[in-house]
Chain A
Amino acid sequence: MTYQHRSRLPFFPGCSLVTSASENYTSLQAICLQLGFELDEVRDWNCCGSSSAHCLDSGLAASLTERNLALMPTDGPCLVACPNCYKRLRQTFLRIQCSHEERSSFERRWGRPFPERLQLQPFLSFLAGQDLGFLYQGARTALQNLAYVPYYGCMLARPPIMNREPSHRGVMEKVLGQLGGRALPWRHSSKCCGTFLSVARPDLVTPMVQTIMDEAEQAGAECLVTACSMCHLNLEVRCPAGHGLPIFHFSELLALAAGVGNPGEWFNRHLIDPRPLLMAKGMLDRSGRVRH
């Protein structure tokens, strides 16, 4: 069941989605198509600077995000897939919005008006604003009572300039609950994954990821669900090989429940293969194809 009418939705993927987490990209694309939106990548977007630009050079971090803002549509929504990119973009947007000086310097520099009415939307907020009734229809039990723990990482923590924005804690639980998933309570849902320390100080991140995995298991979870590709990578990479629950991108479970896209291709890219779990649950058949 698909929408007849599709609208194009401007989309900022971020570096992870186009490379290491391309399974997140394709599953997101599949579910958005199902919701009636064709994702339209912002033309020639650049890296938002990640953590490194603002650590070493605040001016550079601001210019990198400004270039992206200057490439985005002047009006209407723009979906931002990576929660970290969203924070950087939104922070810069608000800073420019509330200062006349910054605004005129933006306009001088990029030769176009400041996109005042641009609505940057992180994926969770976009989803919270959609009518998902038709997605739920016929998919109420699609997730087969899958017991999971939601992992938001640091995406719900915001700098003071953004603290009037609505929080999207609980969106994953609400939507997955309607699709037959079962969220379990645990205490690490908003613990930071360690971002770059995973490379520079594995001695700090490995024990932390180990604790996260252990406690997820103790909570009785069969898997973890995350809405950030950086969290996904760090959890997979820093848990000792062969010891860890499968971790899903939120978008993968949505697309799987809706029966769209090519799940075999996504799961093939996971370091911790989730297919044995899904086969045991009867969601995939023995050849790894979706069972409807």
Chain B
Amino acid sequence: MFKTGSVRYLTGDGAATSQVEGETMNEQSVHRIQAWSDRKGQNCSREINQLADTNILRCLQCGSCSSGCPFVQAMDLPPNVLIRHLHYGFLDETLRSGTIWICVGCDTCASQCPMAIDIPAVMDALRQKSLASQQPASQPEIIRLHQAILRSIYRYGRAHKLEIMLRYKVRHKAWFEDLDLGLRMLSKRKLHLLPSKVMNVGQVQSLFSKQAHL
């Protein structure tokens, strides 16, 4: 067979070019790559569709999602390009991307998508696959913040902002970042010393799975 690692592709315009190193490109090998890529892409798209309960194969590559996204400048793969990667089966590239962590799930893309693809749900599916794959993620500080928030929900049933901030800043080793802001917020009673708690915290804790990423 051919070497899969050397398949190169272009991002942005949705066109994929394939090149196999050490093998003369003839019509037959192009067809073989096409068939392999199609199969890989179909499996990948099917898996994501199932996890996200949507259909990414409806994507027209119109780019509405990327043009509306408030954080597209900070993404390495714009949403439509990320979806195109999945069509071609380049799952690992999407799992390593910063895009999946930068996305805040504001639903702007989903409400603008003419094919009603639930793009934030696709991002959720990819984030969770990325965590499960144990590969180093590209935005560890964002994951740490999510973990700090979940930890607070586990302890109190509600989000306790002061503890979340402290825990996050400590783990992030950014002791003095936003210190003046924190003090201003404390003085305006924007950050409460004591959490607001759920009475039946045990019930909330039972909702967390054993392998919860705290």
- Among A47, A49, A163, contact of B111 (Cβ-Cβ < 8 Å): A163
Per-residue interface assignment for chain B, residues 183 to 202, with 1 indicating a CB less than 8 Å from any chain A CB and 0 otherwise: 01100111110001011100
B91 interface hit (Cβ, 8 Å): no
Residue pair A201, B196 in contact (C-beta under 8 Å): no
Q: CB distance B104 to A159 under 8 Å?
A: no
Contact A59/B54 with A46-B157, A190-B108 known, Cβ cut-off 8 Å: no
Bound: A154/B107 CA distance, A:
7
Bound CA–CA A196/B13 (angstroms): 31
Tell whether B170 is near chain A: CB-to-CB under 8 Å: no
B46 at the interface (CB under 8 A from A): no
- C-alpha gap A44/B202 in the complex (Å): 12
Contacts A60-B207, A200-B142, A201-B141; A271 near B118 (Cβ below 8 A): no
Residues of A33-73 contacting chain B, CB below 8 A: 44-47, 49-60, 63-64, 67
Q: Does A132 contact B (CB under 8 A)?
A: no
Q: Is B108 within 8 A of A157, CB to CB?
A: yes
Residues 219-270 of A at the B interface (beta carbon under 8 Å)? 233, 237, 241, 268-270
- The smallest beta-carbon distance between A275 and chain B, in angstroms, is 13
Residue of A nearest to B152 (CB): A47
Q: How distant is A202 from chain B, measured CB to nearest CB, in Å?
A: 7
A19 with B161: CB separation less than 8 A:
yes
In the complex the two chains form, is A271's CB within 8 Å of B188's CB?
A: yes
A160 and B118 within 8 A (CB): yes
Among the listed stretches B1-9, B18-26, B78-86, B124-132, which one makes contact with chain A, having 4 or more residues with CB under 8 Å of it? Answer: B124-132
Are B157 and A154 in contact, with the CB atoms below 8 A?
A: no
Please state if B104 and A208 are interface contacts (CB–CB under 8 Å).
Answer: no
Residues 146-180 (chain A) with a chain B CB within 8 angstroms: 153-154, 156-161, 163
| Least distance between A280 CB and chain B CB atoms (Å) | 22
- What A residues does B180 contact at CB under 8 A? 241
> Among A44, A54, A154, A233, which residue has its beta carbon within 8 angstroms of that of B106?
A154
Q: A55-B124, A271-B188 are in contact. Are A15 and B108 (CB under 8 A)?
A: no
Most central of B127, B131, B150, B161 by chain A CB within 10 Å = B150
- Asked whether B95 is an interface residue with its Cβ less than 8 Å from the other chain, the reply is no
Could you tell me if B141 and A19 are in contact, using CB atoms closer than 8 angstroms? no
Q: Do A56 and B106 touch across chains, with their CB atoms under 8 A apart?
A: no
Q: Which residues of B contact A44 (CB under 8 A)?
A: 198-200
Q: Is the CB of B145 within 8 A of A199?
A: yes
The answer to whether A47 and B159 have CB atoms under 8 Å apart is yes
A103 at the interface (CB under 8 A from B): no
> Is B54 within 8 A of A49, CB to CB?
no
Contact indicator A163/B116 (Cβ below 8 Å): yes
Within 8 A of B (CB), among A1-57: 15, 18-20, 22, 44-47, 49-57
Cβ A64 vs Cβ B204 within 8 A: yes
| Interface flag for A140 (CB, 8 Å) | no
Identify the interface centre among B120, B159, B198: most chain A CB within 10 Å of its CB.
B159
- CB pair A161–B118 under 8 Å, yes or no, is yes
Task: Tell me whether B178 is interfacial, beta carbon within 8 Å.
Answer: yes
B185 touches A271 (CB 8 A): yes
Distance to closest chain A CB from B159 (angstroms): 4
CA distance A22 to B192 in the complex (A): 11
State in angstroms the CA–CA spacing of A114 and B105 once bound together. 27
What CA separation (Å) do A133 and B192 show in the bound complex? 38
A52 to B146, CA, bound (A): 5
CB within 8 Å for A237 and B181 given contacts A56-B147, A194-B104, A201-B141: yes
**Inter-subunit contact A57/B168 (CB<8 Å):** no
CA distance A47 to B150 in the complex (A): 10
Contacts of B48 in A (CB 8 A): none
A163 to B111, CA, bound (A): 7
Known: A47-B153, A47-B159, A159-B110. A233 touches B190 (CB 8 A): yes
15 further A-B pairs in the complex, CB-CB below 8 A; given A55-B146, A197-B102, A271-B185: A44-B198, A47-B157, A51-B104, A51-B105, A55-B105, A56-B127, A58-B125, A60-B208, A60-B212, A154-B107, A157-B111, A195-B104, A196-B149, A197-B104, A201-B139
16 contacts between A and B (CB under 8 A): A46-B157, A46-B158, A52-B145, A55-B127, A56-B146, A60-B208, A163-B116, A191-B70, A192-B106, A194-B104, A195-B104, A195-B106, A202-B178, A233-B190, A269-B190, A270-B188
Q: Which 10 A-B pairs have the closest CB atoms?
A: A154-B106, A192-B106, A52-B146, A63-B207, A160-B116, A52-B149, A157-B107, A157-B111, A46-B157, A15-B159
A interface residues, Cβ below 8 angstroms from B: 15, 18-20, 22, 44-47, 49-60, 63-64, 67, 87, 153-154, 156-161, 163, 190-192, 194-197, 199-202, 204, 208, 233, 237, 241, 268-271
